[in-house]
């Protein structure tokens, strides 16, 4: 009797598929993380009242953060800290199941490595942003100014890392493309825009700072769309 029950259970599990024993909510995790990523960025950008130039002086930067410390700290926590964790969830959902696929292992590894760099930089920026805000409130103008420049340059590093991640993920097509065609096209456009804005932030060239608006919008579309697409395309 016990053997018959075991056989029946194994047969049922095989018929339901490998995801039958997993919580149903896990299926929707990528989409939830993608939408939350968009919300975190929109909230973070909305709460900060001042848009500083890339080459703003230490005095300008310190005065701005000292005047709005709560808003500044909240923005760093949302747009860098929470958004970084949510980005990790979306990328992990896309890449982890494909790391064992030999045909696309190099592209998957490339996306995983540079995606990890982008997440690590974002979390680092969150911590440095809060430290910067405290320094500005305590009137340590030189320290906060140096941290502001460092944050902007780290933004450039993150942008280049995200550009490589997007292109690598778009090129993974084994056993089938990870993303739908429109997101693969978006990834290429995003990589071009991120290369331009990444250069602007690394060099603190304010004349090219406007490119961050283009790359920022494309990044939000790509991350959110990727999370939703992973959920929609995942087998039931």
Percent of the chain with pLDDT over 70: 86
The pLDDT value given to residue 25: 65
pTM: 0.86
Q: Does some domain include residue 19?
A: no
Q: Determine, yes or no, domain membership for 17.
A: no
Domain count, the chain: 1
In a domain, 41, yes or no: yes
Q: What is the pLDDT of residue 19?
A: 41
Residue 113 C-beta-side C-alpha neighbours within 13 Å? 8
Q: Would the pLDDT of 20 be above 50?
A: no
Mean of the per-residue pLDDT values of the chain: 87
| pLDDT tens digits, one per residue of 74-83 | 999 999 999 9
155 in any annotated domain: yes
Looking at the domain assignment, is residue 228 inside a domain?
yes
* Cα 94 to Cα 124: distance, rounded to the nearest angstrom: 23
pLDDT(14) > 50: no
Q: Domain for residue 179, yes or no?
A: yes
16 versus 176: the higher-pLDDT residue is 176
Q: What domain range includes position 143?
A: 26-233
pLDDT at 17 over 70: no
**Does residue 30 register a pLDDT over 50?**
yes
Residue 11 lies in a domain: no
Whether 60 has a pLDDT exceeding 80, the answer reads yes
**Rounded CA gap, 151 and 129, in Å?**
7
Residue 211 located in a structural domain: yes
Judge whether residue 101 has pLDDT over 80: no
């Amino acid at each position: 009797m016990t053997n018959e029950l075991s056989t029946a259970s194994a047969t049922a599990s095989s018929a339901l598929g490998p995801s039958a024993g997993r919580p149903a909510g896990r299926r929707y995790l990528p989409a939830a993380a993608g939408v939350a990523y968009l919300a975190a960025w929109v909230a973070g950008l909305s709460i900060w009242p001042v848009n500083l130039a890339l080459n703003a002086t230490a005095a300008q930067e310190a005065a701005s953060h000292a005047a709005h410390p709560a808003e500044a700290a909240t923005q760093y926590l949302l747009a860098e800290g929470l958004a970084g964790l949510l980005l990790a969830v979306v990328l992990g959902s896309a890449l982890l199941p494909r790391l064992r696929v030999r045909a696309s292992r190099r592209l998957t590894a490339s996306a995983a490595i540079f995606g990890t760099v982008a997440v690590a930089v974002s979390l680092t920026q969150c911590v440095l942003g809060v430290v910067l805000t405290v320094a500005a409130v305590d009137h340590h103008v030189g320290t906060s100014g140096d941290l502001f420049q460092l944050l902007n340059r780290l933004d450039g590093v993150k942008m280049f890392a995200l550009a490589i991640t997007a292109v690598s993920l778009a090129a993974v097509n084994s056993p089938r493309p990870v993303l739908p065609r429109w997101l693969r096209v978006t990834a290429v456009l995003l990589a071009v825009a991120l290369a331009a804005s990444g250069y602007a932030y690394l060099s603190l060239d304010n004349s090219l700072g406007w490119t961050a608006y283009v790359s920022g919008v494309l990044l939000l579309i790509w991350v959110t769309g990727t999370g939703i697409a992973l959920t929609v395309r995942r087998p039931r």
